[in-house]
Chain A
């Protein structure tokens, strides 16, 4: 009561507390933790965060080191048996610490920052792996994970193998003249399509499979207007398997706007983690997508 004992005008009363609050916040800026390790000293108990990271650990044959994974790590089947520390962007620091990890391997974007700060403070080595949606990005991930686990030689071999597969996969579509325009639909809500623009994993995989992303006007995932669907002129629509029930196919094609595009009844569905993971299986995903798109035109 004493605090607000008079009836000051709002402009004055708002400024005072606001300034005080700002100072209070500014005085408590977070201390940035230093990092720069590349190899875990103790490689016996690793937590893998990010589907592609877990896949790479398995591909390297180092899965015996894993003690937990995040909820996006669903492949291979055996990984699903590991304790799940939650969604990679919403980690619980105590949950991660409860599995007594000796190191944490996390895909870029893992968080929240508060959780990562606490994990770093607990002196458990934390290695962040960058993500890029192209071939080099996959190889880079493999090298970083391999180095972190102290198996550089294995990583080099795996990277070389994957690199060859990726190059071969890309070559398969090199001779195709007529490129198909592909509309990646993340989900449908009330008949509206949520589509992938540039700077997305979907955009990356479409390009690698020799297609053209039908959307080039925006970055990220956005809802399309009916007219934008028509302007995009997609030849094919690409969706994830887990994006809604199978009956959604009929809903998609009963949409008069979709029906008016060249993609009228052409839908490709693929597993989300396989299609968009940018990990060891991406070369196969590129091949599968290319075959679905171009059929016999794909050269082996």
Chain B
């Protein structure tokens, strides 16, 4: 009797806490939407030049502002061909890296998981480095046919192929073993890195510099073509992610329990792995290696709104996009007219922050 009432009370308290948290989560998501809008405006209006984003946008929408008739062709190019594609790419890449991080962490039930675990980063690097090094010799037909899109295509295919191979290796009789996947992932990543190493050995000094910069990451290569080619892939993959939220929540209780709760665990794994691989492969393909967004963003949000993936996934997308835009704004203004690789900005800001979260969580520091 007494036990029963205690259980009831606990249940009520749990529901109350749940309601509290989800209200908070919704509030955070609304705030993040506003934050993202501000980040977009800030990115469009800041840059190395004094081009007037407001003037150009007014010109598109309602015709030139009075007194702004002499809006130069240069300003149009800067806003339309440099800043706007860059902002869109930043939103897509930031959202896909952060959401993919959150999904991987849910899938592997480990807060440190990132898309690197399923080989996508190593595979993409291999594809990209192959084009940089062999682009003028062995892969010349590919690069002459595809131009600047050869590199993103190769990186994307490299990432996806590595992940699918890994999935195949780790799947026996329709069941994917997460443990096998982790181990085989390490082996495959090592193999891809070794192949990359061979290519680096073959590279000349110019190619070496190109690949160093590529590995540091940049949104500087943003063009409408690239958005047209990787945009749909990222949008499709991101659109599939919210459907995973309930499954990932259940998976936190363990695979067997999730299965008993009626979650199609195998389908969940497959969708998560392919979706993450496509989103991250496409992101890495156009922006190189941008670190720490995938780990820091979901972590930060878990502290704020708890681990419920129904809120965590969309919030990660918003925060990831906003943070990457801000990092990019720093990258392209801090040493203007030159530009810093964005991977440096995200790691310089992200790594100490991540360390702080870890230490705080373990009670080492109280800040």
Output the nearest chain A residue to B339 by Cβ-Cβ distance: A92
Contact with A along B155-174 (1 / 0, CB 8 A): 01100110011011000001
A14 located at the interface, meaning its Cβ lies under 8 Å from any Cβ of chain B in the complex: yes
Contacting pair A114 B148 (CB below 8 A): yes
Residues of A within 8 A of B149 (CB): 25, 28-30
Contacting pair B267 A90 (CB below 8 A): no
B201 to chain A, nearest CB (A): 8
A93 to B210, CA, bound (A): 17
Residues of A within 8 A of B229 (CB): 21, 24-25, 28
Contacting pair B223 A114 (CB below 8 A): yes
B206 located at the interface, meaning its Cβ lies under 8 Å from any Cβ of chain A in the complex: yes
Contacting pair A94 B49 (CB below 8 A): yes
A183 to B228, CA, bound (A): 49
- Chain B residues 269-288 with CB under 8 Å of chain A are 270-271, 274-275, 278
Contacting pair B223 A94 (CB below 8 A): no
Contact with A along B163-190 (1 / 0, CB 8 A): 0110110000010000000000000000
Contacting pair A10 B164 (CB below 8 A): yes
Contacting pair A118 B338 (CB below 8 A): no
A10 to B270, CA, bound (A): 10
Contacting pair B164 A115 (CB below 8 A): no
Contact with A along B43-83 (1 / 0, CB 8 A): 00001111100000000000000000000011001100111
Output the nearest chain A residue to B331 by Cβ-Cβ distance: A92
B106 located at the interface, meaning its Cβ lies under 8 Å from any Cβ of chain A in the complex: no
Contacting pair A26 B73 (CB below 8 A): no
A94 and B204 in contact (CB under 8 A), knowing A14-B161, A14-B164, A17-B160?
no
**Among A78-86, A133-141, A253-261, the stretch in contact with B:** A78-86
Residues of B within 8 A of A30 (CB): 147-149, 225
Contact with A along B320-335 (1 / 0, CB 8 A): 0000000000001001
Contacting pair A98 B50 (CB below 8 A): yes
A89 located at the interface, meaning its Cβ lies under 8 Å from any Cβ of chain B in the complex: yes
Output the nearest chain A residue to B168 by Cβ-Cβ distance: A10
Contacting pair B339 A86 (CB below 8 A): yes
Residues of B within 8 A of A7 (CB): 174, 266-267, 270
A238 to B149, CA, bound (A): 40
Select which of B49, B146, B148, B336 is within 8 A of A117 by beta carbon. Answer: B148
A288 to chain B, nearest CB (A): 23
Output the nearest chain A residue to B232 by Cβ-Cβ distance: A24
Residues of A within 8 A of B39 (CB): none
**Among B236-244, B248-256, B359-367, the stretch in contact with A:** B236-244
A287 to B156, CA, bound (A): 51
B352 located at the interface, meaning its Cβ lies under 8 Å from any Cβ of chain A in the complex: no
A28 and B225 in contact (CB under 8 A), knowing A92-B339, A115-B220?
yes
B123 to chain A, nearest CB (A): 12
Residues of B within 8 A of A90 (CB): 209, 213, 218, 220, 339, 341
Contacting pair B225 A123 (CB below 8 A): no
A99 to chain B, nearest CB (A): 6
A13 to B271, CA, bound (A): 12
A88 to B176, CA, bound (A): 48
Contacting pair B81 A84 (CB below 8 A): no
B205 located at the interface, meaning its Cβ lies under 8 Å from any Cβ of chain A in the complex: yes
A207 located at the interface, meaning its Cβ lies under 8 Å from any Cβ of chain B in the complex: no
A111 to chain B, nearest CB (A): 8
A22 and B48 in contact (CB under 8 A), knowing A4-B271, A100-B74?
no
Contacting pair B270 A21 (CB below 8 A): no
Residues of B within 8 A of A115 (CB): 220-221
Select which of A84, A117, A121, A186 is within 8 A of B205 by beta carbon. Answer: A186
Residues of B within 8 A of A121 (CB): 77, 81
Contacting pair A92 B205 (CB below 8 A): no
Output the nearest chain B residue to A100 by Cβ-Cβ distance: B74
B152 located at the interface, meaning its Cβ lies under 8 Å from any Cβ of chain A in the complex: yes
Contacting pair A4 B267 (CB below 8 A): yes
Residues of B within 8 A of A231 (CB): none
Residues of A within 8 A of B174 (CB): 7
B321 to chain A, nearest CB (A): 21
Contacting pair A112 B220 (CB below 8 A): yes
Contacting pair B152 A25 (CB below 8 A): yes
Residues of A within 8 A of B223 (CB): 114, 117-118
Q: List 5 A-B contacts (CB under 8 A).
A: A21-B157, A87-B338, A94-B47, A98-B337, A117-B148
When A and B form their complex, which 9 residue pairs have the shortest distance between CB atoms, in order from nearest?
A: A86-B338, A95-B337, A98-B49, A220-B204, A92-B339, A98-B48, A122-B77, A1-B243, A30-B147
- B residues sitting closer than 8 Å to A (CB atoms) are 47-51, 73-74, 77-78, 81-83, 145-149, 152-153, 156-157, 160-161, 164-165, 167-168, 174, 201, 203-206, 208-210, 213, 218, 220-223, 225, 228-229, 232-233, 236, 240, 243-244, 266-267, 270-271, 274-275, 278, 332, 335-339, 341
